[in-house]
Amino acid sequence: MANSITNGVRQSRLFTKTRKEAPTDEVSRSAELLIRGGFINKEMAGVYDYLPLGMRVIAKIEDIIREEMNMIGGQEISMSSLQRQELWQKHFNQDRWDDSKVDIWFKTKLKDGSEKGLAFTHEEPISNMMEQFVSSYRDLPFSVYQFQTKFRNETRAKSGIMRTREFVMKDLYSFSKNEKEHLVFYEKAKQAYVNIFKRVGIGHVTYLTFASGGVFSKFSHEFQTVTPSGEDTIYINKNDNIAINKEVFTDDVKKDLNLKGDFKEEKSVEVGNIFTLGTKFSEPHLVFEDENGAKSPVFMGSYGIGPARLMGTIVEVLSDDKGIIWPESVAPFAVHLLLLGDDKSVAKEAEEVYESLLKNNIEVLFDDRSGVTAGEKFADSDLLGIPLRAVVSLRSIKEGGIEIKKRGEAKGKIVSLDELLKIIKPKVK
């Protein structure tokens, strides 16, 4: 939706308001800031609503992910949440329908009494669906992805939007003829993930991390972002800029990966994972005929990122005691324009700046509220964390224009409107 969102929003008309306090049961710093800023609303533990400011951030994160998925050839789909029991039970070796094997199912019932599940992932339905599209080696390889709502019946949900019972996940699934072909795509997907974390502004603290594998691979790869609030523990190898998850951090593994030198222990959040599934979900039903007419099961991989968890992680990493500091790439707006005071000529000037920014295709939140003090407006601006603050006041006009200040910086400066328009990048698309 990033491109059908409106460029300009007047804060006097935005229905959300900032809050001094988050709900008392909210222990996550990112959720606290996001709730106080009006980005999200807590519906119950582990279940959140996304409000206009939050929607803009999520849309930008999703568009970055979508671009990278399209770049590696991913085809976008959207599968259902409601799932048939039979599919998860009979057609596969895993029997992941069984609550004793998978303890995060939400189950529900149709009118006819038949039990349905709410998908926590989609390997079973997607490999089942692909039976109708894959028959020959000519149909492979390919990959599909979706931004789709997952339901997970987490016993505890206390990390804000970092671990929730309902969340949109970007899950991509790859289908290849064999392991060799799979690994070519796997490397591309790995690079796409590196690009994504870099583009959303947390590349500098995000590490490719070796984690436990499955039947078909010794390790899987996670992307872990260092933050004290993380639920995971990783050991970062400084020489190679690579990490190992605590769950597999042994001398044997270090040797195996040929990683030398020091390791530093850090708390971290898993912001993405990529996984070689092999034929675990394709055997025996999803098969193809090779050039010689012989049948083989399709070789699969899966690749996940949760946009909301990413939003939460960005806030954990990029904030200070006053509020959020959004990177430009995912900020809800490029500019936070503040009108100070009740002087009519100042208001007129601010309106002109607002209109000029919009004409130049720049996304701007305009704090045009009356009856709000300068101090309150500054505090709100710091909390919301838009990258550039532009103040129009009697003083700024007297000093020659608009006072601008980057969110992370302490001191501002006065610029003219023309200078301001040169400084800010218009929305790309």
Q: Least separation, in Å, of the C-beta of 337 and a second copy?
A: 18
Cα–Cα distances in Å, from 202 out to 5, 199, 350? 24, 8, 34
CB-nearer residue toward a second copy: 139 or 240: 139
Rule CB under 8 A: is residue 83 a binding residue for a second copy?
yes
> Which region, left, alpha or beta, applies to residue 38 given φ > 0 means left and ψ of -120 to 50 means alpha?
left
Q: Least separation, in Å, of the C-beta of 41 and a second copy?
A: 5
Among 20, 21, 24, 132, binds a second copy (CB under 8 A): 132
Alpha helices in 333-393 (DSSP H): 344-359, 374-384
CB-nearer residue toward a second copy: 133 or 214: 133
Site for a second copy in 14-73 (CB under 8 A): 14-17, 19, 41, 43-44, 47-52, 55, 62-63, 66-67, 70, 73
Strands (DSSP E) contained in 177-262 are: 206-212, 219-226, 232-237, 242-245
Q: Least separation, in Å, of the C-beta of 242 and a second copy?
A: 31
Angle between helices 307-317 and 52-71 (to 10 degrees): 110
Least Cα distance to 381 among 354, 399, 362, 408 occurs for 408
Rule CB under 8 A: is residue 101 a binding residue for a second copy?
no
Torsion angles phi and psi, residue 368, rounded to 5:
-100, 15
Q: Least separation, in Å, of the C-beta of 292 and a second copy?
A: 18
* Cross-strand bridge partners of residue 173: 144, 302
Rule CB under 8 A: is residue 142 a binding residue for a second copy?
yes
- In angstroms, the CA 379 to CA 277 distance is 49
Rule CB under 8 A: is residue 222 a binding residue for a second copy?
no
- Which residues have C-beta within 8 Å of that of residue 253, sequence separation ≥ 6? 210, 244
CB-nearer residue toward a second copy: 166 or 382: 166
Q: Least separation, in Å, of the C-beta of 401 and a second copy?
A: 31
Q: Least separation, in Å, of the C-beta of 230 and a second copy?
A: 23
Cα–Cα distances in Å, from 244 out to 195, 256, 276, 309? 20, 12, 17, 21
- In angstroms, the CA 68 to CA 100 distance is 37
CB-nearer residue toward a second copy: 63 or 270: 63
Site for a second copy in 293-322 (CB under 8 A): none
Residue 297: is the preceding peptide bond cis (ω within 30°)?
no
Part in contact with a second copy (CB under 8 A); list of ranges 4-12, 202-210, 241-249, 352-360: 4-12
Rule CB under 8 A: is residue 130 a binding residue for a second copy?
yes
Rule CB under 8 A: is residue 4 a binding residue for a second copy?
yes
Part in contact with a second copy (CB under 8 A); list of ranges 12-20, 180-188, 317-325, 338-346: 12-20
Q: Are 307 and 61 in contact (CB under 8 A)?
A: yes
Rule CB under 8 A: is residue 395 a binding residue for a second copy?
no
What residues make contact with a second copy under the rule CB under 8 A?
1-6, 13-17, 19, 41, 43-44, 47-52, 55, 62-63, 66-67, 70, 73, 75-84, 106-111, 118, 125, 129-130, 132-134, 139, 142, 144, 149, 151, 153-155, 165-166, 175, 429
